[in-house]
Chains A and B, each alone.
Chain A
Amino acid sequence: MATKKSNTIKLKFDSSRNLAPAPESKSAAKINSRYDLFINGKFEKPSGKKYFDTINPATEEKLSEVAEANEADVNKAVKAARDAYDKVWKKMPAKERAKYIYRIARMVQERAREFSVIETLDGGKPIRESRDFDVPTAANHFFYYAGWADKLEYAFPNRNVEPLGVAGQIIPWNFPLLMAAWKIAPALATGNTVVLKPAETTPLTALKLAEIIEEADLPPGVVNIITGAGATGAAIVNHPDVNKIAFTGSTDVGKIIQRAIANTNKKATLELGGKAANIIFDDAPLDQAVEGVINGIFFNQGHVCCAGSRLYVQESVYKTVLRKLKDRMESLIVGDPMDKNTDIGAINSRSQLEVINKYLKIGQQEGAEMYQTACSIPKKGFFCRPTIFTNVAQSNRIAQEEIFGPVLTIQTFRTDDEVIEKANNTPFGLSAGVWTDKGSKIFNMTTKLRAGVVWANTYNKFDPTSPFGGYKESGYGREGGLHGLNAYVSLV
């Protein structure tokens, strides 16, 4: 790294600042050697008798094997959900429904440590994040929506609220347990029953959740959790007796789903990709802004649909911001996700690492300048150094396409109008960030940025009460908060 002498204080990295390892114990996590499908309140063997491995992306070791659900299994799960809907769930008094969901929330909290460890082992995210963010937020989500179950008439003025029926839910691998909570909690609160499919690389916490659901005595069939890959998901989407599809994942798959259900009356909510602009003005508190940029793009290895992957810096502070950013990046610890000091864990899968590496090549070929920190990364497992690209053009693929990794592009701007134009110049519209000390400028920006979530002087914050979802090709519908109820009801 060729750094020039500067008068400002900066962190020194030439001294040895290796922290002693602080690994979380694996003993808290009980992982079975094999998991079956959770259908109609019990674990059942898959009718195709096929299982696939789920590995720890940090070590490439096999953790367990899980059942692959075929069409017959999907039929069974949907049938169980339909029966539970008709015979039990839709007739149950709302306050009783609420108590089941509260019970699930409590049990997730009780077993929080176990969930955190398994989430990190199966998905590669730092234990600090699964412990402090994923698992508590998932429990809170159940707790929040439980309370809505018997209060729905207050959510939609002048309308009667009815459930849709059976919800087919397909969730991604970046926040496995949290996404399950985002999907299941509002669906149950509004009186629907569920068939949920976790991602094939991260099925374990959803299956643990199935154990809790069994333990919580939820009526059989109200929640069914089945594992598999794309074909299983397609079978859920195409099943004629599913009334609603809720999908979180890539924009490409979202479009396939919209096409697949075009000829049906299925309702859909799609939570798709993003390419968020994170904008720093020259009057921003720069140290805080740099923290926000780090959190925006390196949180969860950048496997975040709302990641702040396009940084726009006002020209006058560009050099300072770039220096501070590089300094801060040097202090990031990449490695064992189970270590409590780790900032950036493992990339979720080999295939995702290949995607990221492909984009690193594309970026360089396009003429952008790549910078990676000098940190060491483990020999085994899937890892990627924190990466930034400078000298990026708006039309570069790395500035237009979602990379879904710890890769940031940096561009500059001069005026407010210019950066609004650049920030909105994308087919996506999920999120955005603004850093400035001036309140009136914040509101000008937050109003004009065409995105569903705008963070001002903060980034990547989530809460069960806060609606989340995109504009344009980032999908439709909201999850979280009062507005999240809308996805699971029909108003009459």
Chain B
Amino acid sequence: MATKTIIRKRDINLNGNGTHKDAPEKRLEVLKTYKIYIGGQFPRTESGRYYVASNNRNEKLANVCLCSRKDFRDAMVSARGAFGGWSARAAFNRGQILYRIAEMLEGRKAQFIEELVKQDSTRAQAEAEVNLAIDRLIYYSGWCDKYQQVFSSVNPVASSHFNFSSPEPTGVVAAVAPQCDSLIGLVSVIAPVIAGGNTCVVLASSTKPLCAVTFAEVLNSSDVPGGVVNILTGKVSELISYFADHMDVNATVYCESDSSVQAMLKEKGAANVKRIVLYDKVKWKSEDAQSPYFIYDLQEIKTTWHPIENIGGAKAGY
């Protein structure tokens, strides 16, 4: 397509004299408003601000919400509110919901491919990226009720106690999705977070935000309770400090290699001893970008003790 502003003029086929060629059969396309996703709703940013997302060909793709600190805080309230319910869900149920996300994504594959192509991918790359995102969701769906067994232990203490350790979600995770790609990075960050029972606030790629908003629509139709995943769009530089100093964030995930931002996160994060998780060396399109260790990074190990009655002489020696 050679039109300059593709969202305004796309698919409107004009004659040389400016009249519609087949006027009665053509219709004006309905354009999509790219909004953010908080608490299962699609509000606009409270700030009323936007930025223009464009591609390498300088085509305008969309007006995207330029989120503010208040949006971040609203999203945090939703994420915290959803944490108790989501973390208490049966692991099996979480697995089913992640599988459902994959199903929904599969069904809307074409839309994501279109968006990726608009955002400078070739069609083959776009298709591969969407397929990988679907497969990755299914991969983590399967882990939902298995990582606990891999990372748990029954501990043979020397005293007369039953003692076991198992992982529990860290809490509310604030994540900056990888900025280089639109979909696979976002999915790769969100999936292990929610598979592990955490809730999250995620800032999408600011240069390639389209898929993030569309992915929110997928989440919204996948039985993911509102508030479990909240997706914001905007400028990383503007919002990043809130990811570090908000006192209700339990862990912050950052995927870029900007060392000054990494240091800032750790420094400000100390205010409430946040877990700062840095994924600056992960290649999100590789197989190495998925493993249960990504789930483990956002888990706490809880150890439980209970006495074992030890009276009488009976032994289980049959």
Interface residues, chain A, with chain B CB atoms under 8 Å away = 140, 157-159, 251, 254-256, 258-259, 261-263, 270, 272, 427, 442, 446, 450-458, 461, 463, 465-469, 471-476, 478, 481-483, 491
Contact = CB atoms under 8 A, between A and B. Distances in A.
Q: Give the residue among B170, B259, B300, B303 with the most A Cβ atoms within 10 A.
A: B303
B266 A261 contact: yes
Contact of A465 (B155, B273, B293, B306): B155
Given A262-B266, A262-B267, A467-B165, A461 B272 contact: no
B302 interface: yes
Closest 9 CB pairs of A and B: A262-B266, A258-B270, A463-B157, A262-B267, A263-B263, A465-B155, A255-B270, A456-B306, A473-B273
A452 B271 CA distance: 20
Interface in B120-165: 150, 153, 155-159, 161, 163, 165
B157 A458 contact: no
Given A465-B156, A467-B155, 10 more contacts: A254-B273, A263-B266, A446-B302, A446-B304, A453-B304, A456-B306, A467-B301, A472-B171, A472-B250, A472-B272
Given A258-B266, A463-B159, A481-B153, A158 B302 contact: no
B269 A258 contact: yes
B158 A140 contact: yes
Contact of B303 (A259, A270, A442, A467): A467
Contacts of A463: 155, 157-159, 161, 163
B92 interface: no
Contact of B304 (A159, A255, A456, A482): A456
Nearest to A460: B305
Contacts of B301: 452, 467, 469, 478, 483
B307 interface: yes
Contacts of B265: 262
Contacts of B275: 476
Nearest to B158: A463
Contacts of A491: 293
Contacts of A472: 171, 250, 272-273
B305 A461 contact: yes
Contacts of B273: 251, 254-255, 258, 270, 272, 472-476
A270 B275 CA distance: 11
B307 A466 contact: no
Contacts of A262: 263-267, 270
A388 B220 CA distance: 51
Interface string B237-265: 00000000000001000000001000111
Interface of B: 150, 153, 155-159, 161, 163, 165, 170-171, 250, 259, 263-267, 269-273, 275, 291, 293, 300-307
Contacts of A452: 300-303
Given A158-B291, A463-B155, A453 B306 contact: no
11 contacts: A254-B273, A258-B269, A262-B263, A452-B303, A453-B302, A463-B155, A463-B157, A463-B159, A465-B163, A466-B303, A467-B303
Contacts of A256: 270
A35 B267 CA distance: 37
B182 to A, nearest CB: 29
B155 A466 contact: yes
Contacts of A474: 273
A254 B272 CA distance: 10
A157 B158 CA distance: 26
Contacts of B266: 258-259, 261-263
Contacts of A483: 153, 165, 301
Contacts of B155: 463, 465-467, 481
Given A465-B156, A472-B273, A453 B303 contact: yes
Q: Give the residue among B158, B165, B170, B171 with the most A Cβ atoms within 10 A.
A: B165
Contacts of A478: 301
A159 B293 contact: yes
A471 B264 CA distance: 22
A482 to B, nearest CB: 5
Nearest to B273: A473
A425 to B, nearest CB: 13
Contacts of A263: 259, 263, 266-267
Contacts of A471: 170, 300
Nearest to B150: A157
Contacts of A446: 302, 304
A188 to B, nearest CB: 21
Contacts of A254: 273
A259 B270 contact: yes
B153 A482 contact: yes
A475 B273 CA distance: 6
A263 B264 CA distance: 8
A466 B302 contact: no
A70 B108 CA distance: 64
Contacts of A442: 306
Given A466-B155, A467-B165, A483-B153, A458 B270 contact: no
B264 to A, nearest CB: 8
A212 B127 CA distance: 64
A466 B273 CA distance: 23
Contacts of A468: 303
A259 B264 CA distance: 9
A263 B301 CA distance: 27
Contacts of A455: 304-305
A467 B151 CA distance: 12
Nearest to B164: A466
Contacts of B156: 465
Nearest to A462: B157
A461 B307 CA distance: 10
A33 to B, nearest CB: 38
A461 B150 CA distance: 25
Contacts of B300: 452, 471
Contact of B305 (A158, A251, A272, A454): A454
Contacts of B306: 442, 456-458
A159 B294 CA distance: 13
A449 to B, nearest CB: 9
A262 B252 CA distance: 14
Nearest to A461: B305
A272 B270 CA distance: 12
A254 B275 CA distance: 13
A252 to B, nearest CB: 10
A473 to B, nearest CB: 5
A466 B270 contact: no
B166 to A, nearest CB: 10
Contacts of A461: 157, 159, 161, 305
Contacts of A467: 153, 155, 165, 301, 303
A316 B163 CA distance: 30
Contacts of A158: 291
Contacts of B272: 427, 472-473
Given A157-B150, A471-B300, A476-B273, A453 B305 contact: yes
